[in-house]
Amino acid sequence: MMSGFSRPSAAGLLAAAALLATAACGSGAAQTTTSSTTTTSSAKPEVVAAFYPLQWLTEQVGGSDAQITTLTAPGVEPHDLELGIKQVSDIQSAALTVYIKGVQPAVDDAVAQDKGFDAATAVTTLPAGEHAEEEEGHEEEHGHEEISYDPHIWLDPSRLATVATKLGERLATVDAAHAQAYKDRAAKTAAELGTLDQEFAKGLTTCKSKSIVTAHEAFGYLADRYKLKQVGITLDPETEPSPARLSEVAKLAKAEGVTTIFTEALVSPKVAEVLASQVGAKTAVLDPLEGKPSGDYLSAMRDNLKTLQTALGCTA
Ligand SMILES: [Zn+2]
């Protein structure tokens, strides 16, 4: 799990954070910390969650025994996250940071190994998208290309259930006084995710089509688990696909009888709309859950299931 990058010193990190702040790429969204309420009045362990699905999971497992903050404010694409000085210091003072190596390079660099829980190490990962090579030029700006595996593990509820169990074990060692409570909540969360997994498996068994064309190649684990075929237009949510890639995907979509091109909430639907009109398909939102949904992880995933069933013509 080596990234091939040397670990910078604390001073180097702060300098890098300041540099990054002046070199924002793209989204222009304000990077605000939601961890400003941290106080020293509580003896609860401070746990930092890197972005939404991990925040949800950490809240389920940590419950009221942990003081949980998140680094990625609602509405911010987590891949673009830049850390402020306050956030770097929150990570350094936290008892544990829950993250996924490869999603947010700034977080990867700020977490000390012995105080990090890398959720990707809890599950069997899949290789990164097959057209990663084409986008090598974006290596400097975005996280996906530094690692050889696809980091979007949270989109498979069965894998996330495994992460819940391992996170419970880890929190039990961080805060031994509440060990049983962490393990109990982890078991309950894993069971809820198991139920969700069964709903997906059942709901996607009998479908007219098994191909999903997505704007951002985030659904590899979902496709792997439920025997769908993902065709991602781009690997990175902010990369404009080349005309060659677009026509390649259009050809594939026509050949597979695709009726719906999926877009997502935090990314401009423009590319998917162009493709949909070329193919004669509709667009629909499939949420990769990289930002906070209007409900929670479970309700947003159930919405995704309904969207998939409609788009793929499933009877369940
Ligand atoms: Zn992503």
HEC assignment per residue over the chain: CCCCCCCCCHHHHHHHHHHHHHCCCCCCCCCCCCCCCCCCCCCCCEEEECCHHHHHHHHHHHHHHCEEEECCCCCCCHHHCCCCHHHHHHHHHCCEEEECCCCCHHHHHHCCHHHEEEHHHHCCCCECCCCHHHHHHHCCCCCHHHCCECCCHHHCHHHHHHHHHHHHHHHHHHCHHHHHHHHHHHHHHHHHHHHHHHHHHHHCCCECCCEEEEEECCCHHHHHHHCCEEEEEECCCCCCCCHHHHHHHHHHHHHCCCCEEEECCCCCCHHHHHHHHHHCCEEEECCCCCCCCCCCHHHHHHHHHHHHHHHHCECC
CA 173 to centroid of ligand 1, rounded, Å: 30
Instruction: Bin 148: left if φ > 0, else alpha if -120 < ψ < 50, else beta.
Output: alpha
CA 104 to centroid of ligand 1, rounded, Å: 10
How far apart (Å, rounded) are the C-alpha atoms in residues 48 and 147? Answer: 22
CB within 8 Å of 285: residues ≥ 6 apart:
262, 263, 264, 265, 307
Q: Token pair of 28, please?
A: 């222009």
CA 218 to centroid of ligand 1, rounded, Å: 5
Whether 25 contacts 79, CB under 8 Å:
no
Let me know if 280 is exposed, middle or buried by CB neighbors in 10 A (0-12, 13-18, 19+): exposed
pLDDT tens track, the chain, 316 positions: 333 344 444 444 444 444 433 333 333 333 444 444 444 445 899 999 999 999 999 999 999 999 999 999 888 888 878 999 999 999 999 999 999 999 999 999 999 989 999 999 999 999 986 544 344 333 334 444 468 899 999 999 999 999 999 999 999 999 999 999 999 999 999 999 999 999 999 999 999 999 999 987 899 999 999 999 998 887 666 677 888 888 998 999 999 889 999 988 767 788 888 889 989 999 999 999 988 999 999 999 999 999 999 999 999 6
CA 310 to centroid of ligand 1, rounded, Å: 24
Whether 248 contacts 219, CB under 8 Å:
no
CA 79 to centroid of ligand 1, rounded, Å: 6
Whether 243 contacts 254, CB under 8 Å:
no
CA 151 to centroid of ligand 1, rounded, Å: 8
CA 75 to centroid of ligand 1, rounded, Å: 14
Q: Token pair of 192, please?
A: 């809820």
CA 176 to centroid of ligand 1, rounded, Å: 34
How far from the centroid of its chain's Cα atoms is residue 26's Cα?
A: 19
CA 36 to centroid of ligand 1, rounded, Å: 26
- Residue 171: what pLDDT? 98
CA 164 to centroid of ligand 1, rounded, Å: 20
CA 103 to centroid of ligand 1, rounded, Å: 7
CA 216 to centroid of ligand 1, rounded, Å: 7
Lateral strand order in the sheet of 46-49 = 67-70, 46-49, 96-99, 116-118
> What is this structure's pTM?
0.81
CA 178 to centroid of ligand 1, rounded, Å: 34
Neighbours of ion ligand 1 (CB under 5 A): 218
- Residue 74: what pLDDT? 82
CA 143 to centroid of ligand 1, rounded, Å: 9
CA 285 to centroid of ligand 1, rounded, Å: 15
CA 58 to centroid of ligand 1, rounded, Å: 19
